[in-house]
Amino acid sequence: MSLATTESVAEIKARNKQLIDEVLKVYPEKTAKRRAKHLNVHEAGKSDCGVKSNLKSIPGVMTIRGCAYAGSKGVVWGPIKDMIHISHGPVGCGQYSWAARRNYYIGTTGIDTFVTMQFTSDFQEKDIVFGGDKKLAKIIDEIQELFPLNHGITIQSECPIGLIGDDIEAVSKVKSKEYDGKTIVPVRCEGFRGVSQSLGHHIANDAVRDWIFDKVNPEAKPAFEPTPYDVAIIGDYNIGGDAWSSRILLEEMGLRVIAQWSGDGSLAELEATPKAKLNVLHCYRSMNYISRHMEEKFGIPWCEYNFFGPSKIAESLRKIASFFDDKIKEGAERVIAKYQPLMDAVIAKYRPRLEGKTVMLFVGGLRPRHVIGAYEDLGMEVVGTGYEFGHNDDYQRTAQHYVKDGTLIYDDVTGYEFERFVEKIQPDLVGSGIKEKYVFQKMGVPFRQMHSWDYSGPYHGYDGFAIFARDMDMAINSPIWKKTKAPWKDAPRPSLMAAE
C-alpha cells in the first residue's frame, strides 16, 4: 500500500499544498511567483485544474518541453508516410528526431515510403550568410530525381529559416508549378516560435489547411465511392500501432475509416478527409485546429474519444455511434460485447496485482488525462498529473472528466519539481518520457515511458489494453525493485516496499 491511499483527502490536499510551498522555496522570488501559477491541488467540482498553462517556460529551470519543429515535423507531419519531410536548417533537429517516435507504417522505405528517414538541408555557414532558398530548390530537384515515387514534400523549418528571411513559400510555389502541381508544403515551424511543441501542431494544422485542402479540387471525381459511414481518425500517431488497434474497432462496428491522421497516413488520406461524415479526434491538443476548420468549412462534425482502457473505450464507441444510425449503434454494442471476455480476463489477471497502486503522470497533449481511466480499470489511482504543453481547455477536460479531488497538478513541470514531488509522494509508478525515465528508476521508482510506450504498445483499443495492463504489472512488480538497496544497508524506503 502506498502512502496516499492511507490518508484522507483533506490530509492529501494539505500535504500537496505544503509540497508546492516547499518546492517553490528553491526559486528566486520572481521565478517562484511565476511557477506558483502552474502548480495546484485539484478541488473537485472546479471547472479547471486551477493552473496557468501554455505560457513561456522559464529559462534555466530544466523544462521538459520541446519546440514548434518537434510539434510539426516530429508529431503532425513526420508520420505522413508517402511524403518526404525535409528538416530544413542545420543537421541536428532531424538527427535527434530521426525515427524516435515509433510511428508505425506499412510501405517500402526509401522507395514509396519515407517515415524513418532523415532528409535535411544540413545548413552550413554559407547557407546562413547567403540564404538557403537556392539550396532548397536544388534539394527538391534532387528528391524528385532520386525518390520519384514520393507523393509530396514538406519543408519543416528549423530556427534559422525564419531568422535569415528565407522565402520557403516562394520556393514551394515555383517548384510545385515546375513539377505539375506537386504538393509541396512549406511549414513555418521554427523552434523559437511559441512556447512548446503546441504551436508547432497548430502551424502544421494550418499548413494542411492552406497547402493541401485549399488545393484539392472540390469538383474532382472521388477516388472512392462515399458511404454514410465514412469517418476519419484524427490525432492518432500510430505509436506502436495505436491507430491500427483503434481502426479495427471502428471498422468492426460498421464504420469505414477513410483516413488516418497522421500515423500510417498518406497524402491521399489527408486530401480525402473532407468527405468524412464524422471526424473522430483522439489527440485533441494537436489536431483540434484542423477538426474545427473542417467543421466550419465542410460541415463535418467531430467528436473526441478515448481508447485507453475498457471503460473509456465502451463510452467512446457509444459516443461515436450516437452520430450514426441504429446499425452502427448495434455495431458498437456488438464490439463491446465481443471484447468483454478478453477485458474480463485481462482485469482478472492484472487487477489483483495492481489494485491500490498509485501513479504520477507527466506527458504531452492528451495522455495526462486520457490514460487515467485505463489505470482505474486496473484498480490504480492517479495521484498527480500535468501537461508538458497543454492549454486551459486540456485542464478543463481533465478537471471535469478525469482527476480526483486532491490530485496534485503540475503544468510544464521542472526537473526539480518533479523529482521533489515523486520523492515525497512516493507513487508506485511514474509515467513520463525518456528524459525522466532513468531519473526515477535511479530513485528506485518503477517507470513507464508514456510517449513511446517504452518501445511496447499498442496501448489503444482492446488489444492495446492487454499490453498496457501487462506492461504496468511488469514495471511495478519487477523483482529488481527489491534489490536497489544492498542487504547490508538500511531497510528500503517506503516507496520501495510499495513496489513489492
Partner 1 sequence: MTQNAEHVLDHFELFRGPEYQQMLANKKALFENPHDPAEVERIREWAKTPEYREKNFAREALTVNPAKACQPLGAVFVAVGFEGTLPFVHGSQGCVAYYRSHLSRHFKEPSSCVSSSMTEDAAVFGGLNNMIDGLANTYSMYKPKMIAVSTTCMAEVIGDDLNAFIKTAKEKGSVPAEYDVPFAHTPAFVGSHVTGYDNALKGILEHFWDGKAGTAPKLERKENSKVNFIGGFDGYTVGNIREIKRIFELMGIEYTILADNSDVFDTPTDGEFRMYDGGTTLEDAANAIHAKATISMQQYCTEKTLPFIQGHGQEVASFNHPVGVSATDEFLMALSRITGRPIAKALEQERGRLVDAMADSSAHIHGKKFAIYGDPDLCYGLAAFLLELGAEPTHVLSTNGNKAWAEKMEGLFASSPFGKNCHAYPGKDLWHMRSLLFTEPVDFLIGNTYGKYLERDTGTPLIRIGFPVFDRHHHHRYPVWGYQGGMNVLVKILDKIFDEIDKNTNVPAKTDYSFDIIR
How far apart are the C-alpha atoms of 364 and 387, rounded to whole Å?
A: 5
Please state the closest distance from residue 438 (CB atom) to partner 1, in A.
4
Q: In the numeric block, which cell numbers belong to residue 386?
A: 500535468
Q: In the numeric block, which cell numbers belong to residue 330?
A: 448495434
Respond yes or no: is residue 448 known to be catalytic.
no
How far apart are the C-alpha atoms of 337 and 406, rounded to whole Å?
A: 35
Residue number with CB closer to partner 1 (378 or 403): 378
Respond yes or no: is residue 101 known to be catalytic.
yes
Point out the catalytic residue in the list 35, 38, 85, 101.
101
Point out the catalytic residue in the list 67, 207, 276, 332.
67
Burial zone of 476 (CB within 10 Å; 0-12 exposed, 13-18 middle, 19+ buried): buried
Residue 351, strand partner residues = none
Respond yes or no: is residue 67 known to be catalytic.
yes
Please state the closest distance from residue 396 (CB atom) to partner 1, in A.
25
- 101, 77 Cβ separation under 8 angstroms: no
- CA angle 403/304/266 to nearest 5° reads 130
Residue number with CB closer to partner 1 (40 or 414): 414
Residue number with CB closer to partner 1 (299 or 348): 348
How far apart are the C-alpha atoms of 385 and 383, rounded to whole Å?
A: 7
Residue 281, strand partner residues = 234, 304
Point out the catalytic residue in the list 85, 151, 188, 201.
201
Residue number with CB closer to partner 1 (403 or 496): 496
Please state the closest distance from residue 428 (CB atom) to partner 1, in A.
15
Please state the closest distance from residue 401 (CB atom) to partner 1, in A.
27
Strands 408-410 and 39-41: antiparallel
- 40, 48 Cβ separation under 8 angstroms: no
Please state the closest distance from residue 213 (CB atom) to partner 1, in A.
16
Residue number with CB closer to partner 1 (98 or 323): 98
Please state the closest distance from residue 466 (CB atom) to partner 1, in A.
5
Residue number with CB closer to partner 1 (382 or 467): 467
Point out the catalytic residue in the list 70, 374, 399, 499.
70
Give catalytic residues, as residue numbers. 67, 70, 101, 201
